[in-house]
Chain A
Amino acid sequence: AAGVIQSPRHLIKEKRETATLKCYPIPRHDTVYWYQQGPGQDPQFLISFYEKMQSDKGSIPDRFSAQQFSDYHSELNMSSLELGDSALYFCASSLDPTHEQFFGPGTRLTVL
């Protein structure tokens, strides 16, 4: 069965650089969530989209922005990267907001 696809899987950036993470949801899923998991921590909700509209926003820095496109894929844009942004970034998708979320493999971002 098709799963959530995230790219890239690994990303190394310098401080103050920008990064773009991509997420391709499971086919027919119209809802996307982004979570950030720091080392040894639980995943923290960043932002979500339903039918290409932002549905909720969590602890997402102003330096980060995201959107969901017409084909339902989503991109998380991160600017002025800081050392503390180093984390595993998960995207999850669901058939609609009322259904369970299935997670992608994550993008491991390292900021040097």
Chain B
Amino acid sequence: AQKVTQAQTEISVVEKEDVTLDCVYETRDTTYYLFWYKQPPSGELVFLIRRNSFDEQNEISGRYSWNFQKSTSSFNFTITASQVVDSAVYFCALSRMDSSYKLIFGSGTRLLVRP
């Protein structure tokens, strides 16, 4: 069975601080995808990144970076120099590489960035 755990329910930081959101996953599959989505207060789900299990290279996109480590089954997300607009719920998700590729989400981490 697949499972995604986001142990941090809520994080509060002051603007310009760096913050890391943790994500640990469980799967018996050798091939899979990992994702991060952002859900701002307006409610939509915004795609941030997808990584496949073959590629453990870290990725950086502006102030965002992701650290994928298969040895610890983790896919952590770091926001550098956080801004108030980063305040949102962030979901980590996993999908199998099978017929549907449905997403299995973690419970989410609510990030509050205070001015």
Contacts and interface: CB of A to CB of B under 8 A. Distances in A.
Interface of A: 33, 35, 41-45, 48, 50, 55-56, 58, 88, 90, 92, 94, 97-98, 100-106, 108
Given A42-B107, A105-B44, A106-B43, A100 B100 contact: no
B49 to A, nearest CB: 9
B99 A102 contact: no
A54 to B, nearest CB: 9
Contacts of A44: 105
B45 A90 contact: yes
A97 B104 contact: no
Main secondary structure of the interface of A (DSSP, over half): strand
User: Which DSSP category, helix, strand, loop or mixed, fits chain B's interface?
Assistant: loop
B35 interface: yes
Name the residue in A50, A100, A102, A104 with the highest tally of chain B Cβ atoms < 10 Å from its Cβ. Answer: A100
Interface string B25-67: 0000000000101000001111100100000000000000000
A42 B91 contact: yes
A92 to B, nearest CB: 8
B33 to A, nearest CB: 8
A45 B43 contact: no
B99 A45 contact: no
A42 B101 contact: no
A103 B47 contact: yes
A45 B107 CA distance: 14
